[in-house]
Amino acid sequence: MRIHQMTAALVYGDAITNDILEIDARLKAWGHESRIYGEHIEPRLAHLGRPQAEYEPFLGKRDDVLIYHYSLYTSNLELYRRSSQRKLVVYHNITPPEFFHGYHRDMEAKCRIGRQALPQLQGCDLAVADSDYNRRELVQAGIPADRTDVLPPFMNLAGLSGAACNPALAGRLRQAGTANLLFVGRVAPNKALEDLIKVVHCYRQAIDPHVRLWLVGAQPMPVYARFLQRLIVQLGLAGVVELAGQVSLPDLKTYYQAADLFVCASRHEGFGVPLLESMAFDVPVLARSSTAVPDTLGQAGVLFHGSDYGAIAEAVHLLLTETGLRRRVIDRQRRRLGEFAPEQVEARLRQALQRVGVG
């Protein structure tokens, strides 16, 4: 059977792109003809995808299946609407536009239009979402609950854990007697990275000055990145908080290996792949209880509420120093991670495909 995947973009290192490529690999392994289309495809990934215009000749092929990944408004929504194929929507969530106000006008507009357009997905045969939080948004958009389900994303944890580490970077990151806090993800306003910076400031003032924070991830919004840099300087944290930018797979592994605690203050997540990457490296997770984060963590990790930076700093200290607590958290994280094993996700993908008529 011929199966098409449509997405906004193929971007190196992006979690949605990784999910799409993993699905593509399995479709081909199961004997299907699989193609990927995007509005934007990074040149280094051009061999993996096709311009979305190349999908148009297949619009009327009723025996084909379209897997439509929705994470941002793009012009290919019109192709989805015009397609007469069986449709499987994969909803990765769209960040509410207000997070980007004053930081990125184009992203604010695309997210606003994207969320307003959610009801246009109602014509699908089945809509799956990364998390139950995302699935509930699909129901709120008018898709009947019995035509929705949860399909966690595939993650390239084996590729990350199997990558070679960077010895030079490891030597720089490891300092005796210093606790290393790590966040991985886009440097974007919904991640509330200013809260993490303020927690580190409180920790150094009230508990222990020997702590560092690494913020690892792409910086697509220069205005927000400059705001964070100013805050770092204002709080006297230059050399303590590092905006590392997007890094290679070996460097990312090195950061995880050097981390003592993964911290996340995000106010909006559709899933949160780095939460599980941390679990793969036995790094305890402390995260804000927001949107899809509780769904992803399950009974693993430690959640916090609100913005009491002093209280959050105390939680950081407990997770850094209480050996028994760390061991219990890591044990729960190992069990939780097993629920996202590739074979588990594969089984759920097969079920979703069967529901749209793929044998």
- 19 and 167 co-located in one domain: no
- 81 and 123 co-located in one domain: yes
- 63 and 192 co-located in one domain: no
Q: What confidence score (pLDDT) does residue 203 get? A: 99
Q: Report the predicted TM-score, pTM, of the whole model to 2 decimal places.
A: 0.95
- 168 and 108 co-located in one domain: no
For the stretch 156-179, pLDDT in tens is: 899 999 999 999 999 999 888 899
Please provide residue 140's backbone torsions phi and psi, each rounded to the nearest 5 degrees.
-60, -25
Sign of the dihedral through C-alpha 130, 136, 137, 138: positive
For the chain, how many structural domains are there in total? 2
DSSP state of 62: T
**In the chain, which ranges are continuous DSSP H helix?**
15-29, 76-82, 105-116, 132-140, 157-162, 167-173, 193-206, 222-234, 249-258, 273-280, 293-297, 309-321, 323-338, 342-355
- 125 and 205 co-located in one domain: no
Closest by CA position to 85, among listed 119, 37, 123, 30: 123
Q: Which domain holds residue 138?
A: 2-155+341-355
- 294 and 203 co-located in one domain: yes
**Residue 13 pLDDT more than 90?**
no
- 351 and 204 co-located in one domain: no
For the stretch 336-350, pLDDT in tens is: 999 999 999 999 999
- 203 and 130 co-located in one domain: no
- 14 and 76 co-located in one domain: yes
- 99 and 216 co-located in one domain: no
Q: What confidence score (pLDDT) does residue 137 get? A: 98
Percent of the chain with pLDDT over 70: 100
Confidence bin at 212 (pLDDT 50/70/90): very high
- 170 and 144 co-located in one domain: no
- 334 and 242 co-located in one domain: yes
Q: What is the CATH number of the domain that holds 30?
A: 3.40.50.2000
For the stretch 288-305, pLDDT in tens is: 999 999 999 999 999 999
